[in-house]
């Protein structure tokens, strides 16, 4: 079960990378001084990616904890 810890860490890092993509995407849209409707569209498009990133991070941490408990 030693492979669970590195696998969980990789999944967690992927989730964190996706969170950074979300942050950069929203920051770029805010700096572009877009009209409210376009900014709202960018934000609404970023929400599913943000939720997926949080899910990946949480699942990765769960896998790490399970790997520690079983190891």
The confidence score (pLDDT) of residue 71 equals: 85
Q: Which domain holds residue 24?
A: 4-70
Return the CA Rg of the chain.
16
- Structural domain count of the chain: 1
Closest CA to 25 of 6, 13, 42: 42
pLDDT tens digits, one per residue of 9-56:
999 999 999 999 999 999 999 999 889 999 999 999 999 999 999 999
The confidence score (pLDDT) of residue 2 equals: 87
User: What span, in angstroms and rounded, lies between the C-alpha atoms of 5 and 63?
Assistant: 7
Q: Which two tokens stand for residue 48?
A: 């599913």
Average pLDDT over residues 3-8: 95
User: What span, in angstroms and rounded, lies between the C-alpha atoms of 37 and 55?
Assistant: 28
Q: Which two tokens stand for residue 66?
A: 């399970």
**What H or E segment, with its residue span, contains residue 28?**
helix 4-31
Residue 57 confidence (pLDDT) above 90: yes
């Amino acid at each position: 079960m030693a492979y669970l810890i590195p696998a969980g860490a990789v999944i967690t890092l992927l989730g964190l990378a996706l969170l950074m993509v979300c942050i950069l995407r929203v920051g770029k849209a805010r700096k572009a001084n877009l009209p409210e409707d376009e900014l709202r569209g960018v934000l609404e498009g970023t929400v599913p990616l943000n939720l997926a990133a949080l899910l990946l991070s949480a699942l990765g941490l769960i896998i790490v904890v399970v790997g520690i408990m079983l190891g």
